[in-house]
A and B are shown apart, each in its own frame.
Chain A
Amino acid sequence: MIRITPQMVTSSTVRNVNNAFAALERRSNELSSGKSILEPSDNPYGTGKAIDLQSTIDGLSDHKTSIDEAIGWEHTASSALSSIGQVVQKARELTLQATSGVNGKSDLENLAIEVEQLTESAKQDTNVQYAGQYVLSGTLTGTAPYAAGAEDAYHGNEGTISRTIAPGMTIQINQSAATLLGNGQAAEDGKLLDTLRTIAKNMREGTPAALEALDGGDLKNLDANFETLLQMQAQAGGTVDQLQMAESRIEELTTSTTEALGNTQDANYAQVATEYTSDQVAYEAALKAGGSIVQMSLLEFLK
């Protein structure tokens, strides 16, 4: 015969009510936090995975920040390059005007002054900053590439600056102003500053030989400089394209990684809510059954 004692009934009732309540509390925590992993022991492997995935997502967000920064940087550089482009075109017009043969001495002097002003503004144009950094000075971002005035030497370096735009993928974002402007007449490097200074010099001389040089070598040099400028603009544009492509890939990756993270650690609301309801029913049943069985005793029926 199985004997059942009131102590057994009491302890099993308490146990069942506790178990039902613990299950209910667990579901309630899952529902209110939205997470199925509340502590590592709930799912040790899942916790490790969630930590890794969260770090991946944070990393992608870092890359996105870097890309946005790099795009800002490139836009700054591009606008500087297009300003210089206008300078080169203006200089070309002035050079053609000088070689037309109808200019007097003072006309040529005025043209030379104008070219010198253009030279100055080309140097000024390179001194653009993005977030306090000179973008065309190589890694010497605290130094303006060119100083105002007659001194034409490049003050930056050829250091490269890059950004990590995807896991394991870096891209160079800076270009050196010296590639286009060079180190001036003293260096005789045929770069823009050398060319402009030579043009101004030849205008001022105004001799047939000088005008000949203007029409020949100087114009050719100017065109070559313009070609360099176009290449630099193309490179900046290409970098922006690459950055934007990387950005959209980062967004896709972020979406899919976030989804994976959600699958790993987030509670499935439909399922948890259903379980919550059935746990609630179980809890109420345990309470009700316990309440009625504990009251029952032979004493009730003996008089």
Chain B
Amino acid sequence: MSIPTLQGLQTALSGLLANQEALDVTSNNIANAQTPGYTRQTAVMETNRPLTISSLSPTTGEGARLGTGVGVAEISRIRDSYLDSQYRAESSTLGEASTSAEVLGQVQTSLDEPSSSGLSSQLSAFWTAWNDLANSPSSGAAREGVVTAGKDLANTLKQLSAQVEAASGEATTRYATFTGAKGEVQSDAEQIASLNGQIKLALDAGQQPNELLDRRDQLVDNLSKLANVSVTEHEDGTIALGFGNAAEPLVEGSTVHWPQALTSAAGGQLGALLNLTSATGALAGYKVSLNEVAAGLAASVNALQPETPFFSGTTAASMAVNATAAQIQTGPAGEPGANNLAQSIANLRGGATDQSWSAFVTKVGSDVQSAKQTEAGAQAMVTAVEERRQQVSGVSTDEEMTQMMTFQRGYEASARALTAMDQMLETLIEHTGVVGL
């Protein structure tokens, strides 16, 4: 068998088509250079099946193989699944730390310390009011001063308690919003399930569902902020997605198992929210501490006001000034100049109440500090992994430009080969055997 006459045209055509397809892929990469979640694609070229031409090898009789050009075998995504799982683990840690830092930071802001308007200043003003009263026990103004300072203190404690309560309520609401019927978890899971189905169909039909895979990876990335995720890939292209510490996989093929119960060990933002609002969590602890400050203050002052308790209520939320200015006792009844009780109360400055407050502020500060440090560390890790992922999967326009030039030149060269082949055939068809005509 000899070489088919028009084979050269076919070979040149395959070069044109393959380069054109590669150019299309490059152009798609450039177009998506800034698209979040996009994985760069590459046209994988393969030589076509060669022809065996026996007449070209008269010596052995086995024939030579003649290449028949090039084809695009597949358009593949360039992605490292190990980096994906690393990214998702760090993203969960970051979600958890940043949510803790945010909620605790909110409590810290409401403390308004150190400042000249926080509870410590008001405690100080309260003790000063008692000292002023001790200096002039019969002064009506000094009595009113004590009552006013006491009311300020009680109001501030009440507000602080309400703010901690509000932070806890907000955290609960956020958890409910994420996990509710139309929440992020449900909607992401449903999309992943439907993508699972589409990917399976496409693969069955022998297609490369690159965009669907990108979309699914992006959804899993998004869920990894909310809780720890684990991805198990199946042969048919679908994934099973473990979520937090839920008993069943969130997505299995095209089935969604949600809602499920999570605990504070779920990781991510949801784990942090559960952790913060749990009965043994930070916010509950803050409330206990605030109540201790309030109860300690009320008990120590009331102990020195034997007739009418100065404060009523033993929790921060229920704290109020009970005594009127006239009911305040500075000393034994009937001795307007006696100041021993007022003096003793003034001397409570720097005592257990002040200390428990400053210990509380220190505690909140340390909690926020460590949450912020964890957040900064996790942020650095996420950034580093994301950078590595970009290194592998990101589109470099410079690189694509170079590719574009390569394929463009390849296309031109194939076209030139086509022209050469055409001229050869022209010689054959137009100029061969015309001698006798």
A residues contacting B by CB (< 8 A) are 2-8, 11-12, 15, 35, 37, 39-45, 47-52, 54-56, 58-59, 61-62, 65-66, 69, 131-134, 137-142, 157, 159, 161-164, 167-168, 170, 174, 265, 297-299, 302
Contacts and interface: CB of A to CB of B under 8 A. Distances in A.
A179 to B, nearest CB: 16
A33 B189 CA distance: 49
Interface of B: 33-34, 105, 108-109, 111, 113-114, 120-121, 123-124, 127-128, 131-132, 134-139, 331-332, 335-340, 343, 346-347, 349-350, 354-355, 357-359, 361-366, 368-369, 372, 383, 386-387, 390-392, 394-399, 401-402, 405
Given A6-B33, A12-B387, A298-B401, A41 B365 contact: yes
Return the 9 tightest CB-CB contacts between A and B, nearest first. A40-B365, A141-B337, A44-B365, A5-B394, A48-B362, A41-B368, A139-B335, A139-B338, A62-B131
Contact of B401 (A7, A58, A162, A299): A299
Contact of A3 (B350, B361, B392, B402): B392
Given A54-B120, A299-B401, A131 B335 contact: no
A32 to B, nearest CB: 15
Contact of A51 (B139, B357, B368): B357
Given A41-B105, A141-B138, A170-B343, A159 B338 contact: yes
Nearest to A15: B383
B358 A163 contact: no
Contacts of B350: 52, 55-56, 59, 167
B128 A62 contact: yes
Given A15-B383, A49-B358, A159-B331, 10 more contacts: A2-B391, A39-B108, A39-B365, A47-B114, A47-B365, A56-B350, A59-B127, A139-B337, A161-B338, A164-B343
B401 A47 contact: no
A6 B138 CA distance: 78
From B34, B123, B363, B366, residue with most partner A Cβ within 10 Å? B366
Contact of A159 (B111, B335, B390): B335
Contact of B349 (A47, A59, A159, A298): A59
A164 B347 contact: yes
A15 B360 CA distance: 34
A40 B111 contact: yes
Contacts, number: 189
A157 B134 contact: no
B435 to A, nearest CB: 51
A40 B361 contact: yes
B358 A52 contact: yes
B364 A40 contact: yes
B398 A297 contact: yes
Contacts of B128: 58, 61-62
B265 to A, nearest CB: 25
Contact of A142 (B138, B332, B361): B138
A134 B138 CA distance: 11
A133 B347 CA distance: 23
A221 B132 CA distance: 42
A4 B20 CA distance: 26
Q: Which of A55, A66, A133 has the most CB of B within 10 A?
A: A55
Contact of A40 (B113, B349, B391, B399): B113
Nearest to A67: B135
A140 B127 contact: no
Given A41-B105, A59-B350, A5 B359 contact: no
A68 B272 CA distance: 55
Contacts of B391: 2-5, 8
Nearest to B354: A55
B361 A51 contact: yes
A7 B394 contact: yes
Given A39-B109, A44-B369, A132-B138, A52 B361 contact: no
Contact of B335 (A5, A39, A140): A140
28 contacts: A5-B390, A5-B391, A8-B387, A8-B391, A11-B390, A15-B383, A40-B361, A40-B365, A41-B372, A47-B358, A47-B362, A48-B358, A55-B350, A58-B124, A59-B127, A62-B127, A69-B136, A131-B136, A134-B337, A139-B331, A140-B335, A141-B137, A142-B138, A142-B337, A159-B331, A174-B337, A297-B397, A299-B397
B80 to A, nearest CB: 12
A59 to B, nearest CB: 5
Nearest to A62: B131
A241 to B, nearest CB: 20
Given A54-B114, A139-B338, A8 B349 contact: no
B394 A133 contact: no
B319 to A, nearest CB: 20
Nearest to B111: A40
Contact of A4 (B343, B363, B396): B396
Contacts of A137: 337
Nearest to A1: B391
Contact of B358 (A3, A7, A51): A51
A11 B389 CA distance: 13
